[in-house]
Amino acid sequence: MEHTQSLLVLDFGSQYTQLIARRVRELGVYSEIHPFHYSLEHIKKLHPVGIILSGGPMSVYEQDAPKPDPGLFELGIPLLGICYGLQLFADRYNGKVNSAARREYGKSDLQIDDHHDLFAGISDTTSVWMSHGDALSRLPDGFEPIAHSHNAPICAVRNQNKKMFGVQFHPEVVHTPEGKKILSNFLFTVCGATGNWSSASFIEQAEKGIRATVGSSNVLCALSGGVDSSVLAVLLHRAIGQQLHCVHINNGLMRKNESDQVVKTFRDTFHINLTYVDATETFLSRLAGVSEPEKKRKIIGKTFIDIFEEEAKKLNGPFEYLAQGTLYPDVIESVSFKGPSVTIKTHHNVGGLPEKMNFKLIEPFRELFKDEVRNIGNLLGVPSELVGRHPFPGPGLAVRILGDVTKEKLSLLREADDIFIQELKRSHLYDKIWQAFVVLLPIRSVGVMGDGRTYENAVALRAVTSVDGMTADWAQIPNDVLAHISNRITNELRGINRVVYDISSKPPATIEWE
C-alpha cells in the first residue's frame, strides 16, 4: 500500500526496533523497518521524511560491527541515531567511542543543555532509559553536545546543518517518560512530517486497494476466529461483499464454544459467506498416541491443509485469491538480517497453502502491528470479545496438553480454561493481561476430597503481561483471585485436584509450554 509520508527505521539489532516503529505510528506517521544494509536505491524510492538508526548489541569499533552504506549520511534526509545509532555518527565523522568506565543500564537523569528542536518543551532534567556499555569520548566533527548525564558527558548531539541528531538513551521505551515528545519533536519539528497515518485512513486505503486488486475475482479466507482473521474477514466483506467466502474448520482443539461464536458472529451478524466444517474426529484420530510437541504441530498443520483444500474444491469458485492475516512482525521476522539480528522464525500464516493450491495472496495487514489491527477491528464494529481476545496458538489446545491428546483431556482442559478466563474477566484483569490459559500437566498427584483420597490431574495456570509477545513477564494476579480460581477448578471439575501458577518470564521460558 502506498503512503504519502513515511519514516524509515534501520535495524542494527536492537530489541526495541519494533517499538520505535510503533511509537512513530502512534504519533500519526507511517513507519517501516528495514535491515541496516538496506540499499540507497530502495531508500530513495521510499522518499522517507526522516530515518531513525536503531540501537544494537554490538560496539561500533568491533571488527564485524554493522555499518550502513556511507552514502546514507549524504542523502540530506534528517537522521536520528539512538544508542548504537549515535555511535555511527562518531564513527563516520571522526568522533571517538570507548568502552565506558561504568556501564549504564536502567533509569538515569538527563540534563538538557539546549532546548531547541529535539528537546523543545522537555524538562531541564528528565528521566531516561539507558542500555549501553560504550560512550562518546570525542564529539564527531560538526556536532555539538545538547544533553548530558552524570555518567555520559556527551549524551545527545546535534549537527544542525545536516539535520542529524544522536541520543545515548532510548526515547522509545515507556521508562523514558518524555520520550514520545522527543520523537514527536524529531518527526514534526525536524522532519516536517504532517501526521496523516491512522487506523481510519488505513481502512479507507485498504478497501480501495482490495477492490482494485481483486476486481471481479473470488477470495477465500480461512477464518479461525482469532483477532487477525476476524478483522480481516470483516474488512474484506466491506470491500468485496459476496466475492468473499470464509471457511471455518473446527479442529476439536478450540476454546469453549469458540466455533459456535464464530458461526454466529460472521454468518448471522455480518452475513458473510461462511462454510463451517466440523473436523474434530479427523484431527483427533490423526493425533492419537502422539506426545511429541513438534510432531503434533506438523500433524495439525498438514490435516488443516488437507481439509481446507478439500472444502475449497466443493465451493463455487474458482478462487483466485487467498486472504491471510499476516502481520508486520511476521514479515520482519521472516527477513534474514545479516549481522546483528537473527531470523527468529520463518512465517507461514496458513502452512504452505499458497504453494500447494496456486493462490495469489492478499495480506492487507502485513504492514500492521497487532494493536493496530485491534483498533481497526473496533472501528469496523467487530465485537469487543473478539477484538480483545488473547492470542491463541494455531495448534490450539493440543499444545496445552502435555502428552497425548484425547477427547477426555480436551474436555477437562477446556472447562478449566473457561473458569480461568471467566474469573479474570470478573476481576477486570483480562484486558490487562496479554495472554492467559491453563496447561494440563502429564502428572497425577495425591489429594483429599471429603473423607476420600484422590489421585488426579494437576493443571498450571499461565498468565503474562507483554507488549508484543517477544518478551513477557508473569502477571501478578492477586492471591485472593488465584485462590478463587483454584477452588472453582478443583471443586467443579472431576479429575483435577491440584492447581499451580507459573511464575516464569520470557526469557528464559516461552509463553506456551510446548
Instruction: Give the type of residue at 17.
Output: T
Mean pLDDT of 263-288: 94
Q: Given the residues 132, 170, 245, 390, select the one marked as catalytic.
A: 170
Q: How far apart are CA 37 and CA 377, in angstroms?
A: 35
3-class secondary structure, 362? strand
Indicate the helix (H) or strand (E) that contains 10. strand 7-11
Higher local confidence (pLDDT), 121 or 57: 121
| Residue 337, pLDDT above cutoff 70 | no
Q: Given the residues 32, 104, 172, 258, select the one marked as catalytic.
A: 172
| Residue 454, pLDDT above cutoff 70 | no
Mean pLDDT of 7-30: 91
Widest CA span in the chain? 83
Mean pLDDT of 183-195: 95
pLDDT, one tens digit per residue, over 49-107 is 999 999 888 888 888 889 999 999 999 999 999 999 999 999 999 888 877 655 556 78
| Residue 27, pLDDT above cutoff 70 | yes
Mean pLDDT of 429-453: 84
The least confident of 224-238, 302-316, 397-411 is 302-316
Is 191 a catalytic site residue? no
Q: Given the residues 3, 32, 34, 83, select the one marked as catalytic.
A: 83
Q: How far apart are CA 121 and CA 123, in angstroms?
A: 7
Q: How far apart are CA 50 and CA 435, in angstroms?
A: 35
pLDDT at res. 40: 94
The least confident of 79-88, 132-141, 189-198, 342-351 is 342-351
| Residue 248, pLDDT above cutoff 70 | yes
Q: How far apart are CA 118 and CA 184, in angstroms?
A: 8
Mean pLDDT of 269-280: 94
* CA dihedral sign of residues 118, 123, 129, 130: positive
Query: Rounded mean pLDDT of the chain?
Result: 88
Mean pLDDT of 433-454: 81
CA angle 70, 73, 77 (to 5 degrees): 140
User: Which residue's entry shows cell 506517521?
Assistant: 29
Is 245 a catalytic site residue? no
Is 83 a catalytic site residue? yes
Of all residues in the chain, what percent carry a pLDDT higher than 70? 90
pLDDT at res. 339: 38
Of all residues in the chain, what percent carry a pLDDT higher than 90? 64
Rg (CA), the chain: 26
| Residue 402, pLDDT above cutoff 90 | yes
| Residue 426, pLDDT above cutoff 60 | yes
